[in-house]
């Protein structure tokens, strides 16, 4: 029998089913308990986060006025920690060969009609140039699990290729990696290759469902998958990104699992996840999201984001183009700090858009706008699109990054970096209209840098960018 222990290295002890079941029952019993809910909200106002139990009570809270307070607090914490900046990234699919049998993903091995592709290094070059030409500086590379077609050497070579390309003023300055769970030794190699965050979604924390949804292939092993972040950290990667695919299991279960996973990483490694992603199951090739019983409404989705925001204030929250413009707009306010833009979810979709017949996409994109349209939209909503990658390049990862946040230096660091990288975007890639809006925004936002000295230097750097120089950072 497994017993709950956040410091254990055994999956079934740090993601303990009994603990989750009890937490769900506790939250259900207390969803109308006004004094308890008020007490938890007060605790959350201290901005030190919440335990999974407290967080789940807020997620379940069924008192409209209290829910308003929860949303207002999420918005406030979002503003205090992230200001109005939104970090931009794009996914880059390297290969959709996969030996696993995941029931919710069209890349599953039994899908014989999906077009299988693996980019050559020359094709990667073309993709990266197309991404740089859009203005991207930060990528998340994705590949299915296939030791023959996508061995680690292929991934390492691809990372090297991506970092080596400097087309016009373009550069990919941070490559995050989303590949299957692997060994400590392989994580060490990824670290040496200079990756940013290692991303691996749990999909579902519910062991039985996990095994049912992953009937074949190495991913079937729940413990090996769930313990992957510990191996990644042992291999020296200190920025890890977790996530659950909402719609597969009960959302309350996944929410508790995500927070328990974060508590576990904090307890064992002294630093929680760098990011949490909240994808929802989407339609794709032979996948129909209606076949999964646990789809969540936009309201529930917003509540999940708000409750995550107050429970793990230092952790970045990501939504992709799986979400529609409308849904993204709502959750940006409540806590999302990173979004993708202009994404293609097929292998090789940037340099040459795919035809209907050769569809190799992992999911259908809901937000089809170009990066320029997304940047323009964000600025009109009052956000600063940021292409910043400074921390990673300054070695501020893991707990060093957390100290920057905890020392409250974000406004003196992220804010000018956001403005400088936005300026680069405007100079090199923006449409006339986007540029005009952006220039005004930069002028206004420079005044919001608290330290005068930093403000002056930022202004100087921005002038230098206008005069053709690139790549300044704090
Ligand atoms: S989710 Fe990942 S591992 Fe599963 S089939 Fe898709 S690409 Fe393969
Ligand atoms: S300074 Fe660091 S934390 Fe801030 S936006 Fe840039 S990379 Fe992120």
DSSP secondary structure string, 226-284? HTHHHHHHHTT---EEEEB-BTSS-HHHHHHHHHHHHHHHHHHHS---SEEE--B---B
| Residue 330: CATH number of its domain | 3.20.20.70
Atom number of ligand 2 nearest to Cα 405 = 3
The set of protein residues with a Cβ atom below 6 angstroms from ligand 2 is 87, 386, 388-391, 413-414, 417
Q: Note whether 189 and 179 are within 8 A (CB).
A: no
End-to-end CA distance of the chain: 50
Query: How many Å lie between the centroid of ligand 2 and the Cα of residue 89?
Result: 13
The answer to whether residues 141 and 53 belong to one domain is: no
Which residue lies with its CA nearest to atom 4 of ligand 2?
414
111 occurs within a structural domain: yes
Among 59, 79, 99, identify where a domain stops.
Answer: 79
6 occurs within a structural domain: no
The answer to whether residues 39 and 132 belong to one domain is: no
Q: What is the pLDDT of residues 271-304, one digit of tens each?
A: 999 999 999 998 888 888 888 888 999 999 999 9
384 occurs within a structural domain: no
Residues with Cβ within 8 Å of residue 363, at least 6 apart in sequence:
106, 282, 283, 284, 287, 322, 345
Tokens 């909200």 — which residue? 41
- Using CA atoms of 389, 390, 396, 397 in order, give the dihedral in degrees to the nearest 10: 0
Among 368, 398, 429, identify where a domain stops.
Answer: 368
Q: What is the pLDDT of residues 410-439, one digit of tens each?
A: 778 999 999 999 999 999 999 999 999 999
Structure tokens at 456: 């002056």
Which residue lies with its CA nearest to atom 1 of ligand 2?
414
How many domains does the structure of the chain reveal?
3
Among 339, 368, 397, identify where a domain stops.
Answer: 368
Domain interval for residue 430: 408-466
The answer to whether residues 166 and 296 belong to one domain is: yes
In DSSP terms, 88 is beta-bridged to 339
> Which of 77, 107, 113, 80 has the alpha carbon at shortest distance from 94?
107
- 350: pLDDT strictly greater than 80: yes
Which residue lies with its CA nearest to atom 1 of ligand 1?
105
Which residue lies with its CA nearest to atom 5 of ligand 2?
414
- 149: pLDDT strictly greater than 80: yes
The answer to whether residues 231 and 123 belong to one domain is: yes
474 occurs within a structural domain: no
Instruction: Name the pTM for this structure.
Output: 0.97
Average pLDDT, the chain: 95
Query: How many Å lie between the centroid of ligand 2 and the Cα of residue 386?
Result: 9
Q: How far apart are CA 375 and CA 134, in angstroms?
A: 11
The answer to whether residues 44 and 98 belong to one domain is: no
């Amino acid at each position: 029998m497994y017993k709950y222990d956040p410091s254990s290295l055994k999956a079934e002890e740090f993601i303990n089913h009994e603990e989750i079941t009890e937490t769900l029952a506790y939250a259900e019993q207390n969803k109308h308990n006004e004094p308890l809910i008020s007490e938890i909200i007060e605790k959350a106002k201290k901005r030190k986060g919440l335990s999974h139990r407290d967080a789940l009570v807020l997620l379940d809270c069924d008192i409209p006025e209290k829910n308003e307070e929860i949303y207002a607090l999420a918005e406030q914490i979002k503003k205090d920690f992230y200001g109005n900046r939104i970090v931009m990234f794009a996914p880059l699919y390297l290969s959709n060969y996969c030996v696993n049998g995941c029931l919710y993903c069209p890349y599953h091995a039994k899908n014989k009609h999906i077009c299988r592709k693996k980019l050559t290094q020359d094709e990667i070059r073309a993709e990266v140039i197309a991404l740089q030409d859009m203005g991207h500086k930060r990528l998340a590379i994705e590949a299915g699990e296939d030791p023959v077609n996508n061995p680690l050497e292929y991934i390492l070579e691809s990372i090297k290729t991506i970092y080596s390309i400097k087309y016009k003023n373009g550069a990919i300055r941070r490559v995050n990696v989303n590949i299957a769970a692997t060994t400590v030794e392989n994580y060490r190699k990824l670290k040496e290759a200079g990756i940013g965050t290692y991303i691996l979604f749990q999909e579902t924390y519910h062991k039985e469902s996990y095994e049912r949804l992953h009937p074949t292939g190495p991913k079937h092993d729940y413990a090996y998958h769930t313990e992957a972040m510990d191996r990644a950290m042992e291999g020296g990667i200190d920025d890890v990104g977790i996530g659950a695919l909402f719609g597969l299991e009960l959302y309350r279960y996944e929410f508790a699992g995500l927070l328990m996973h974060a508590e576990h990483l904090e307890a064992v490694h002294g630093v929680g996840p760098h990011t949490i992603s909240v994808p929802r199951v989407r339609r794709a090739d032979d996948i129909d999201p209606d076949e999964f019983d646990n789809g969540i409404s936009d309201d529930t989705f917003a509540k999940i984001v708000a409750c995550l925001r107050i429970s793990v204030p230092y952790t970045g929250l990501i939504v992709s183009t799986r979400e529609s413009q409308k849904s993204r707009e709502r959750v940006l306010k409540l806590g999302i700090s990173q979004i993708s833009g202009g994404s293609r979810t097929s292998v090789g979709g940037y340099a040459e858009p795919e035809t209907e017949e050769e569809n190799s996409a992992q999911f259908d994109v809901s937000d089809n706008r170009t990066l320029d349209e997304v940047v323009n939209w964000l600025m009109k909503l009052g956000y600063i699109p940021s292409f910043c990658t400074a921390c990673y390049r300054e070695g501020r990862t893991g707990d060093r990054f957390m100290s920057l946040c905890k020392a409250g230096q974000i406004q003196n660091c992220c804010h000018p970096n956001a403005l400088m990288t936005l300026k680069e975007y405007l100079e090199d890639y923006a449409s006339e209209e986007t540029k005009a809006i952006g220039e005004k925004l930069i002028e206004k936002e420079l005044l919001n840098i608290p330290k005068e000295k930093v403000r002056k230097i930022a202004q100087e750097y921005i002038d230098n960018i206008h005069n053709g120089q690139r790549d300044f950072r704090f």
